[in-house]
Amino acid sequence: MGVQIGDSIPDVEVMVKNEDGIDTVNLSQFAAGRKVVVFVVPGAFTPTCSAKHVPSYLNHYNELRDAGIDAIACLSVNDAHVMKVWGEDQQVGDKITMMADIRGTAADALGLLVDMGPVMGARAGRAAFVLEDGIFTHVFVEAPAVYEISSAEYVLEAVKAA
């Protein structure tokens, strides 16, 4: 079962590669004391994730910040090296924290771990979450093979309406 509005973000760790090495980031600590969006994608360099999902958050970065979002993170079941290179390819700079869920632990804790067959294997389903001080205020989980309600446009409208 997935997370619900009012739940606390799971106390799990992901990896973030930066210029100094690889850091372990606790999701609950990342979200503590601020309003964040975490969007979840099946894989780095995959077609929809690269052509639509990450670009939507880059294109609406300033609007999300104006709506009170303090930080944006992209989470995927990939390794930290791949997430860093993908972030560079997408030109995220310091706008989006690229989080690697190397064993699918975070995806599983969020209720998103799915088997995507022989090519991709165990991955996270597509989703987006808004958290305030580590508490889910908005939960957007996509149906398989769909990209709509986890887009930055959809999340932004929900945040503005709240």
Please determine, for residue 116, whether its predicted confidence score (pLDDT) is greater than 90: no
pLDDT (mean) for 123-148? 95
Decide: helix, strand or coil at residue 154. Answer: helix
Catalytic residue among 49, 54, 99, 128: 49
Q: Is residue 6 part of a domain?
A: no
Distance between CA 18 and CA 48 in Å, rounded? 25
DSSP-derived secondary structure letter, 144: T
Domain limits for position 146: 13-161
Give φ, ψ of 103 to 5 degrees.
Answer: -115, 5
pLDDT (mean) for 14-32? 96
User: What pLDDT sits at residue 1?
Assistant: 63
Render pLDDT for 40-84 as a digit per residue (tens, 0 to 9): 999 899 899 999 999 999 999 999 999 999 999 999 999 999 999
How many separate domains does the chain show? 1
User: What pLDDT sits at residue 121?
Assistant: 66
| CA dist list (Å): 30 to 37, 63, 80, 157 | 11, 21, 17, 23
Active site annotation includes 74: no
Q: Is residue 1 part of a domain?
A: no
Render pLDDT for 137-158 as a digit per residue (tens, 0 to 9): 999 999 988 999 999 999 999 9
What lies within 8 Å, CB to CB, of 22 at 6+ separation is 15, 16, 80
Q: Is residue 25 part of a domain?
A: yes
Q: Is residue 135 part of a domain?
A: yes
Angle at 73 between CA 40 and CA 76, to 5 degrees: 35
Q: Is residue 8 part of a domain?
A: no
Residue percentage of the chain with pLDDT more than 90: 86
CATH of the domain at 32: 3.40.30.10
pLDDT (mean) for 116-132? 86
Q: How confident is the model at residue 114 (pLDDT cuts 50, 70, 90)?
A: confident
Q: Is residue 3 part of a domain?
A: no
6: left (phi over 0), alpha (psi -120 to 50) or beta: left
Q: Is residue 83 part of a domain?
A: yes
User: What pLDDT sits at residue 99?
Assistant: 98
Q: Is residue 5 part of a domain?
A: no
Provide the strand spans (E) within 94-149: 97-100, 113-115, 122-124, 127-132, 135-141
